[in-house]
Structure formats: structure tokens, C-alpha cells
Amino acid sequence: MAAKKGAKASAVPSKGGKGSGGKSATKSALPAELAAIVQQTDPEKFWTLLNDTVFPRYERYGLEGLSRPERVAHCVDWLVRETEAVGIKKWFEEIAGNYPYQTLEAFKEIGAEHTYELLEMLFGVFPEEVPDDQDERLAIMLDFTGRERRAFKEFDAAWADYQDDHMKLLKEYLEEHAAEWRKE
């Protein structure tokens, strides 16, 4: 669970990341669409192909209707793309932020320890848990003081300074969980 009120709001943890050891899952044959995603080496094309594959399923079935690896991919993709494009504050302001704890767990599942720590610390600026309702989040964020607003800037600075290799970690995760990928 993320930090609660009164927790340190700084978004600058120690650098971390998932090592390559400790994997015990057996890789299975990749479904064709998943193989196309994980074989993509260009980051922009990887994230676009991932989004083009998973987002329509999210729109059709909702987050809970996705398979576990699709949920993880969708949450990671949404946060990475929002943060890269305009910053983490925008992710919280948008519908993408409606899945705060699912997104936090997705980064943990892929082994993005640094991102997990950054996000967990940023959750600590909310007075209670981060609401999964966009309007509730926005209402809380309107009352943020300079300290809370600085935490978003610190997150973005730490993100720009160092980040886990999300594409690599997500590819590895998807390969490990290929048998769970939806077959459509």
C-alpha cells in the first residue's frame, strides 16, 4: 500500500531496478499479436502497437475484463505515455489515473522498482488513499499546497534523471506470461 498522509513527499528515492536473475516462469509460445509487440525494437512503435492492441479491449471490456498481462501492459503503457508526453500530474488529472493502485502494482509486477518507489512516494501527497474517481482526485488536487505541487515536479525530475527500462521489463513480463494473454 502506498504511503499515507504525513509520509515523505519527496520523489527522489534511491536508484533501483529489476535484475535479470530470479526468473522461474517458463516461456510459452507467443500469440502472433504478442510476438509482434515484444519483437518491436523501436520504442515509439512498441508503445503504439501495445496501445493499439490493448486499448480497444480496455474500451470494450473495462480493466477487469482484460487478462492479467493485458492489465499490466495497459497500466504501464498509460502511465509511461502520459508522463513522457506531459508529466505525471496530467496522469492524475486524466481518466488514466482512475487505476492508481493497479498501476502501482503493475510496475511492481514487471520489476520496475524505481518507478514503483517514485509512484508510491507521490501517492503520499494525497490526504488518504489516491481516489480512483477522476472528479474526487481533481477536487483534492485543487487544494494542494506548494509542497504537494513540488512533489509532482520532483517526480518528473527524477523520472527524467533516471528510470527503469520500462519497455525491456514489460517485454520480459509479457513473454513470461504469454500463456495468459487473451487469444482473439
Give the pLDDT band of residue 28 (cuts 50, 70, 90). low
C-beta of residue 135 within 8 angstroms of C-beta of residue 117: no
Q: Do the domain assignments include residue 110?
A: yes
Give the pLDDT band of residue 176 (cuts 50, 70, 90). very high
| Rounded average pLDDT over 78-98 | 93
**What pLDDT is recorded for position 160?**
86
Q: Do the domain assignments include residue 108?
A: yes
Cα–Cα distance between 12 and 155 in angstroms, integer? 7
Mean pLDDT (the chain) is: 86
Q: Do the domain assignments include residue 64?
A: yes
| Across 28-37, 86-95, 171-180, least confident range | 28-37
More confident residue, 25 or 75: 75
Measured at the alpha carbon of residue 175, what is the angle toward residues 117 and 169, in degrees to the nearest 5?
25
C-alpha cell at 103: 498501476
What percent of the chain is predicted at pLDDT more than 90? Answer: 77
Cα–Cα distance between 163 and 37 in angstroms, integer? 21
What is the number of domains present in the chain? 1
The predicted model scores a pTM of 0.82
Give the pLDDT band of residue 162 (cuts 50, 70, 90). confident
**What pLDDT is recorded for position 183?**
60
Q: Do the domain assignments include residue 176?
A: yes
| Rounded average pLDDT over 52-61 | 96
Q: Do the domain assignments include residue 70?
A: yes
Is the pLDDT at 27 greater than 80, yes or no?
no
Own/partner contacts of 8-11, CB < 8 Å, gap of 24 or more, are: 8/121, 8/124, 9/121, 9/122, 9/124, 9/125, 9/147, 9/148, 9/150, 9/151, 9/154, 10/121, 10/151, 10/154, 11/118, 11/121, 11/122, 11/151, 11/152, 11/154, 11/155, 11/157, 11/158
Question: Can you say how many angstroms the Cα of residue 84 is from the centroid of all Cα atoms in its chain?
Answer: 12
| Rounded average pLDDT over 136-158 | 94
Q: How much is the CA Rg of the chain, to the nearest whole Å?
A: 16
Q: Do the domain assignments include residue 2?
A: no
Q: Do the domain assignments include residue 3?
A: no
Q: Do the domain assignments include residue 4?
A: no
| Across 63-67, 72-76, 141-145, 162-166, least confident range | 162-166
CATH number, domain containing residue 76? 1.20.1420
- The string of DSSP codes covering 10-71 is ----------S----PPP-PPPHHHHHHHT--SHHHHHHHHHHHHHHHHHHH-GGGS-HHHH
Is the pLDDT at 14 greater than 50, yes or no?
no
Domain ranges, residue 172: 32-180
Is the pLDDT at 6 greater than 50, yes or no?
no
